[in-house]
């Protein structure tokens, strides 16, 4: 099972590299350049990646007894519903924070806590099925390994070719989608949870658009101020990297607050040069409990803030 977990992290990472650019930030109008990239990535995913993922899912499902498959499909439905609830709660928390509605913010935080408890229960119910079909999972992993490496290389090649063709449109490449920190969440991820995510996948490609962890924010080439900050991994267990980019040298303050608005820590408070920056946030056990946290980035152009989830 250990070898499969390692390979599965690579599978999820390969899928994620496709999602990083092609599906991110659907709220912003796509430029012709981004539309072109979106089409290329989508075609690659539909023709090469998802068919294999479905084949492996079919292999796993086919190895199961009718009773076990019925049980797994029920867990998949519950997992999909929990994802929807989590998205709704995160959206509510962001809106409450902006409007300083701390009553609703606390209610949303309690809602997220309940969702996490349900997720943990879901994983515990899934474990016996994973153990029972460990041989099938291992077989899938052995077939997947070479394909995963090819996918990752092809994804990098697609992005590199596109980036070289659109340097002028994207200000000499300074505002390309940033995914270095995001990729780390797959290298540092929980292997057991990686297996669970695969088993609970119901075949819906929209999962790439549903979750922050699979759909990081795109940098906005039209922005004059600091690029919207992102952090990865998110959720995180011990540490996470907060990434942002500055179009010019500027005085920057980056602070962490808990869900109730209480100050936790100052990550940076100094003059920084133009370019990309990354800072680690690694709270101690006594410093921070599990839950939702906000990081606030302030520059001369204004303030931006995002949420992150600490899961201990």
CATH number at residue 300: 2.60.40.1930
Judged by DSSP in three states, 216 sits in coil
Q: According to the model, what pLDDT value does residue 64 have?
A: 93
Q: How many domains does the chain have?
A: 2
- Domain co-membership, 189 together with 298: no
- Domain co-membership, 153 together with 55: yes
* Long-range contacts of residues 276-279, Cβ cutoff 8 Å, at least 24 apart: 276/178, 276/243, 276/244, 276/245, 277/243, 277/244, 277/245, 277/246, 277/252, 278/180, 278/181, 278/241, 278/242, 278/243, 279/241, 279/242, 279/254
| Domain assignment of residue 171, given as a range | 2-214
Taking the C-alpha atoms of 93, 94, 98 and 99 in order, what is their torsion angle to the nearest 10 degrees?
Answer: -40
Count of CB atoms within 10 A of residue 100's CB? Answer: 8
Q: According to the model, what pLDDT value does residue 269 have?
A: 93
Of 153, 179, 214, the one marking the end of a domain is 214
- Domain co-membership, 297 together with 205: no
- Domain co-membership, 139 together with 287: no
- Domain co-membership, 66 together with 126: yes
Taking the C-alpha atoms of residue 277 and residue 218, their distance in angstroms, rounded to an integer, is 15
Q: According to the model, what pLDDT value does residue 35 have?
A: 72
- Domain co-membership, 242 together with 178: no
- Domain co-membership, 71 together with 164: yes
Check pLDDT > 70 for residue 99.
Answer: yes
Taking the C-alpha atoms of residue 235 and residue 212, their distance in angstroms, rounded to an integer, is 9
Q: According to the model, what pLDDT value does residue 197 have?
A: 79
pLDDT higher at 228 or 254? 254
- Domain co-membership, 291 together with 192: no
- Domain co-membership, 164 together with 246: no
- Domain co-membership, 17 together with 54: yes
Check pLDDT > 50 for residue 106.
Answer: yes
Taking the C-alpha atoms of residue 99 and residue 225, their distance in angstroms, rounded to an integer, is 22
Taking residues 209-214, what's their average pLDDT?
39
On whether residue 264 sits in a domain, the answer given is yes
Sign of CA dihedral 242, 99, 111, 207: negative
On whether residue 221 sits in a domain, the answer given is no
- Domain co-membership, 125 together with 64: yes
> Do residues 230 and 303 make contact, with C-beta atoms less than 8 angstroms apart?
no
Check pLDDT > 60 for residue 297.
Answer: yes
On whether residue 296 sits in a domain, the answer given is yes
- Domain co-membership, 117 together with 262: no
> Angle at Cα 283 formed by Cα 277 and Cα 285, nearest 5°?
165
Taking the C-alpha atoms of residue 120 and residue 52, their distance in angstroms, rounded to an integer, is 28
Of 186, 214, 242, the one marking the end of a domain is 214
This prediction has a pTM of 0.55
Check pLDDT > 50 for residue 14.
Answer: no
Taking residues 80-93, what's their average pLDDT?
83
Q: According to the model, what pLDDT value does residue 129 have?
A: 94
On whether residue 97 sits in a domain, the answer given is yes
Q: According to the model, what pLDDT value does residue 31 have?
A: 63
In this predicted structure, which of 78-87, 220-229, 281-290 has the lowest mean pLDDT? Answer: 220-229
On whether residue 225 sits in a domain, the answer given is no
On whether residue 223 sits in a domain, the answer given is no
């Amino acid at each position: 099972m250990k070898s499969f977990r390692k390979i599965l992290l690579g599978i999820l990472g390969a899928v994620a590299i496709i999602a990083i650019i092609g599906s991110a930030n659907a709220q912003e109008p796509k430029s012709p350049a981004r539309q072109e990239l979106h089409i290329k990535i989508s075609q690659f995913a539909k023709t090469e990646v998802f068919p294999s993922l479905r084949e492996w899912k079919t292999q796993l499902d086919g190895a199961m007894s009718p009773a076990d498959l019925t049980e797994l499909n029920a867990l998949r439905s519950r997992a999909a519903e929990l994802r929807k609830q989590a998205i709704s709660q995160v959206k509510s928390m962001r809106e409450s924070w902006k409007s300083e509605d701390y009553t609703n913010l606390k209610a949303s935080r309690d809602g997220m806590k309940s969702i996490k408890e349900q997720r943990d229960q879901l994983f515990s119910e899934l474990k016996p099925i994973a153990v029972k079909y460990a041989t099938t999972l291992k077989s899938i992993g052995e077939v997947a390994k070479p394909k995963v490496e090819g996918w990752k290389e092809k994804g990098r090649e697609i992005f590199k070719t596109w980036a070289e063709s659109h340097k002028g449109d994207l200000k000499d490449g300074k505002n390309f989608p940033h995914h270095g920190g995001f990729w780390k969440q797959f290298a540092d991820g929980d292997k057991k949870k990686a297996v669970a995510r695969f088993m609970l996948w119901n075949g819906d490609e929209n999962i790439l658009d549903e979750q922050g962890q699979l759909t990081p924010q795109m940098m906005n080439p039209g922005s004059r101020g600091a690029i919207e900050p992102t952090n990865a991994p998110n959720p995180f267990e011990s540490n996470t990297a907060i990434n942002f980019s500055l179009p010019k040298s500027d005085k920057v303050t980056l602070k962490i607050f808990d869900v109730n608005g209480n100050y936790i820590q100052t990550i940076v408070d100094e003059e920084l040069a133009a370019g990309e920056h990354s800072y680690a946030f690694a709270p101690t056990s006594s410093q921070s409990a599990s839950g939702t946290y906000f990081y606030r980035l302030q520059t001369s152009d204004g303030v931006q803030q995002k949420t992150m989830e600490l899961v201990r």
